[in-house]
Each structure stands twice: as structure tokens, then as C-alpha cells.
Amino acid sequence: MLSETLDLGFRPAAPSAANRLTADQIAEYNRDGFVQPFDIFDASEIDEIRAYFDRLMGDLGEAGAYGINCYQARMAGIWDIATDPRILDHVQDIIGPDIICWATAILSKKPHDPKQVPWHQDASFWSLSPARTVTVWLAIDDADEENSAMRFIPGTHDKGALETAGTDESAVFHKGTANAEAMGTPFTNSLKAGQISLHADMLVHGSRANTSDRRRCGLTLRYCPPEVRITDADWAKGVEAILCRGSDPSGHWRHHPRPENDDITATASPHVVGNN
């Protein structure tokens, strides 16, 4: 079992080390497993990012219709977002001054997309230990209950690996967290375009089908400190890390410089690591 081979325990963030987040916000993250919303990009900036992502997805055609995974070391525009100091200032208060981005995903739910993302814990799918990743979810479009914003089950991030059960054909994963809604009232992660949320890697979360006439597009960014280790050599082949801030004395991670390329058709597809 993953819970027997990986350290999936939660480490609380230290309020005394925070510079951008308040003590109350750190306490909220430690208690609930997430904190939001935070304004990052203004209207003109997010319009530019949206147009950029629309181009990338359009260039990939059907292959990019739902998502574009792990191009942070292959596309200059995604690299620039992942290393934006306004985002990193928030991340630093959760995981410390040495910050690695090891995965990203542009996730787009079209209007009336019937697929749902079942309740799940991200770190239970990953070959990483200890569980110290914080996920930033950047809203590219306004996200709310109507157009299938991500939902969290507060307080499920410090319970270790929870029982799973199979899912039906409406889900994008073949299994999910069993009896998740019995664990608490879901919180809808409503965000305006340009805002972010931060959540812990063992927090139970998912999203419903998009029954609205509006698209819901977001960018997930996965950040961890250098102490985290990849535990599977084959899985490691698909991880293209970026040292975003600070240093990495571990020698464990292979870091990639900013790419010159911004043509997604000029590079191969990286490893796919998940959805939200």
C-alpha cells in the first residue's frame, strides 16, 4: 500500500516564518488544508494568459482540448507563470524559501462537459515522499459552483491515505476516495480569473460535471521543497523540475532552465500526472 511505503503525513506551515500570508491564513491552511482567494494577475494580465492558453490548446487540437500537462520546462510562457514572484511569495509561506515546481496542468472543462473528477487525494497517485507538495490553482476563467469549480472537503488533508472505491464511466479516474462527503460539507473553490488558491497534496477534492454554458479553465502548479524525493525511477523519467526560488543542495532533482521555445507543436508531450 502507498500509505505503508510513502510518508503521506501533513506538516503544518509555521506562522512565524510567513511574510505574505497572515497568521490567520496560515492557521486556516493548517486547519482546513487550503486557503483562498488571493489576487495575483490583473484583468489585462489574465486576458493575455487566457489568449496564450487558448493558442496552446488550439495548436494541439483534440489532444489539448481537456488539458495540457507538464509543459513547465518546455514552454517559456508556462515557465514564466510558474516562477512569477507573486505566486512564489504565497508558496514560500507554506513550504519554505527553497521552491521546486515539478508539474503543471492547464485544465479546461468545456460547457456541458459531462465528465466529473471524483473525490481523491493527489499525493496518493504520486511517487513522492514525504507529502509536502502545495498545489496552486490559478483561475483562467471565473470559476464557481455553476461551471464546476473545484471542491474541497475541509480537514481531510491530515488523515493519511483514505480508503478508495471504484468509480463509474462518468469519472476521469477509475477510483476515488470512498464516502468522501460523509467526512464533511464540501467547500466550493470559487475564484475570479487571475486569483489563486493553495491546497495541500492530501486534501480530498474533486469537481462535478460542467452543466453550464461557460467554460472553466485553470492552471495547476505543483510546488515542493527539495527534501521531497521521487520514489520510483520510471515515474521520475516524466518529471521536469524547475528551481523557482532559493537553492537545492539535495542533488536529487534535475532542474531545467527557462526554455526558449513557445511553440507547443515543436516539442514532444511530457509525462501526464493528473487532473482536477
DSSP conformation letters of the chain? -HHHHS-----PPPGGG-SSS-HHHHHHHHHHSEEEEEE-S-HHHHHHHHHHHHHHHHHHGGGGSSEEES-TTT-HHHHHHHT-HHHHHHHHHHH-S-EEEEEEEEEEE-TT---BEEEEEGGGTS-EES---EEEEEESS-B-TTTT--EE-TT-TTS-SPPEEE--TTBSSSEEETTGGGGS--EE--B-TTEEEEEETT-EEEE----SSS-EEEEEEEEE-TT-EE--HHHHTT--BEEEES--TT--S-B-PPPS---GGGS---------
Is 189 within a domain?
yes
Question: Grid coordinates in use for 118?
Answer: 471524483
* pLDDT confidence band for 176 (50 / 70 / 90): confident
Is 275 within a domain?
no
Return the minimum-mean-pLDDT range out of 81-90, 120-129, 175-184: 175-184
- In 3D space, the residue among 205, 221, 219 whose CA is nearest the CA of residue 32 turns out to be 205
Evaluate whether 217 touches 276 at the Cβ level (below 8 Å).
Answer: no
Is 238 within a domain?
yes
Close Cβ partners of 4 (under 8 Å, ≥ 6 residues apart): none
Residue 217 has pLDDT above 80, yes or no: yes
* pLDDT confidence band for 66 (50 / 70 / 90): confident
Residue 162: give the domain boundaries: 2-266
* pLDDT confidence band for 263 (50 / 70 / 90): very high
Counting the structural domains of the chain, the total is: 1
Residue 273 has pLDDT above 90, yes or no: no
Burial class from Cβ neighbours inside 10 Å (0-12, 13-18, 19+) for residue 21 reads: buried
Is 191 within a domain?
yes
3-state secondary structure 174-199: CEEECCHHHHCCCEECCECCCEEEEE
* pLDDT confidence band for 271 (50 / 70 / 90): low
Measured from the Cβ of residue 98, the count of other Cβ atoms closer than 10 Å reads 18
Give the model's pLDDT for residue 171. 64
Is 247 within a domain?
yes
Is 273 within a domain?
no
- In 3D space, the residue among 16, 219, 30 whose CA is nearest the CA of residue 106 turns out to be 219
Residue 3 has pLDDT above 50, yes or no: no
Give the model's pLDDT for residue 2. 39
Between helix 85-95 and helix 23-32 the angle, nearest 10°, is 70
Give the model's pLDDT for residue 272. 53
Is 274 within a domain?
no
Pairing of strands 34-39, 195-200: antiparallel
Name the more confident of 5 and 107: 107
Burial class from Cβ neighbours inside 10 Å (0-12, 13-18, 19+) for residue 153 reads: buried
- In 3D space, the residue among 137, 99, 95, 125 whose CA is nearest the CA of residue 221 turns out to be 137
Measured from the Cβ of residue 190, the count of other Cβ atoms closer than 10 Å reads 18
Residue 69 has pLDDT above 70, yes or no: yes
Is 218 within a domain?
yes
Give the model's pLDDT for residue 184. 96
CATH code, 143:
2.60.120.620
